[in-house]
Amino acid sequence: MVPHSLVELISWIAVSAGTLSVWAQFRRVNVQGIEGVSLATWLMFLLIGGFWIAYGDLSAHSFAIVCGSLLAWPLQASIVFRLKPWEHWRGASQATALFLATCVAPGVIGGWAWCVYGCGLAMTLLRVPQFLDLLRTRDASGVSSASWFISSGTAFLWIAYYSQVGLWAPLIATACSGSASVLIGSMAVWRHRQEKEEFIRREVFAT
């Protein structure tokens, strides 16, 4: 049996790592711009963050789960603001509709457990627009691969925490989204490498 103090430590490391992953993307957007960053994905992050805050407070009764989203919320909101959802209302509306269909509606029907499973589906699906954006465009300078890899590491920490406290629904949801984060981080690294090779090629031909 893992000591309670160690379980709590794991949860707070996960909170710190999760906030750091969003900070990495926030900083990348401010330094490099928004090229390649998906509005739908980050708007869903913001909405689902609100769900996890409510779940942590009202159902799991875990201050760590609340803080896991609460601390990252202002950073996520800033990224969404930079992406100007009011100019891309169709994508913003689709993301909101997906959140309502996968997170809110199941909760109304089956309670918190169904809501969490639906959230797991949404957390996986919300990564699809970012993955597709990385497939479609060679310019991914605004996408932070570090953010996505830290996010996948954070998911592993939360899985360890959930397994010790018996929260199986969020464990499954987090495992699915963490796997998708690894895929996006790998795609971002590939695109950044292409950008670097293209820059070197232009420099060589220029001389």
Tell me the pLDDT tens digit for each residue of 115-145.
Answer: 888 888 888 877 887 788 888 777 777 787 8
pLDDT tens digit sequence for 53-112 = 998 999 888 999 999 999 999 999 999 999 999 998 888 998 899 889 988 888 888 888
Task: Determine the pLDDT at residue 13.
Answer: 94
What's the pLDDT tens digit per position in 2-34? 687 898 999 999 999 999 989 988 998 998 888
The pLDDT score that the predictor gives to residue 83 is 92
Question: What does the angle CA 133 – CA 155 – CA 99 come to, to the nearest 5 degrees?
Answer: 55
Which pLDDT score is estimated for 74? 95
Helix (H) or strand (E) holding 188: helix 168-206
| The predicted structure's pLDDT at residue 160 | 92
Cα of first residue to Cα of last residue in the chain, in angstroms, is 64
**pLDDT mean over 33-46:** 86
**Is 207's pLDDT higher than 60?**
no
The one-character DSSP state at 103 is I
Q: Name the helix (H) or strand (E) containing 181.
A: helix 168-206
How far is the C-alpha of 17 from the C-alpha of 11, rounded, in Å? 10
**Residue 178 vs residues 91, 121, 171: alpha-carbon distances, Å:** 23, 12, 10
Question: What b-and-e string marks burial along 47-82, b requiring 16 or more CB atoms within 10 Å of the CB?
Answer: bbbebbbebbeebbebebbbbbbbbbbebbbebbeb
> How many whole angstroms separate alpha carbon 73 and alpha carbon 159?
21
Q: What is the pLDDT of residue 203?
A: 65
Q: Which parts of 69-129 are beta strand (E)? A: none
Q: Give the pLDDT band of residue 186 (cuts 50, 70, 90).
A: confident
Residues in Cβ contact with 22 at an 8 Å cutoff, skipping those fewer than 6 apart: 45, 72, 75, 76, 79, 147
Residue 205 pLDDT > 80: no
Query: What angle do the packed helices 112-125 and 89-99 form, to 10 degrees?
Result: 150
- Whether 42 and 80 have beta carbons less than 8 Å apart is answered as yes
pTM for the full predicted model: 0.76
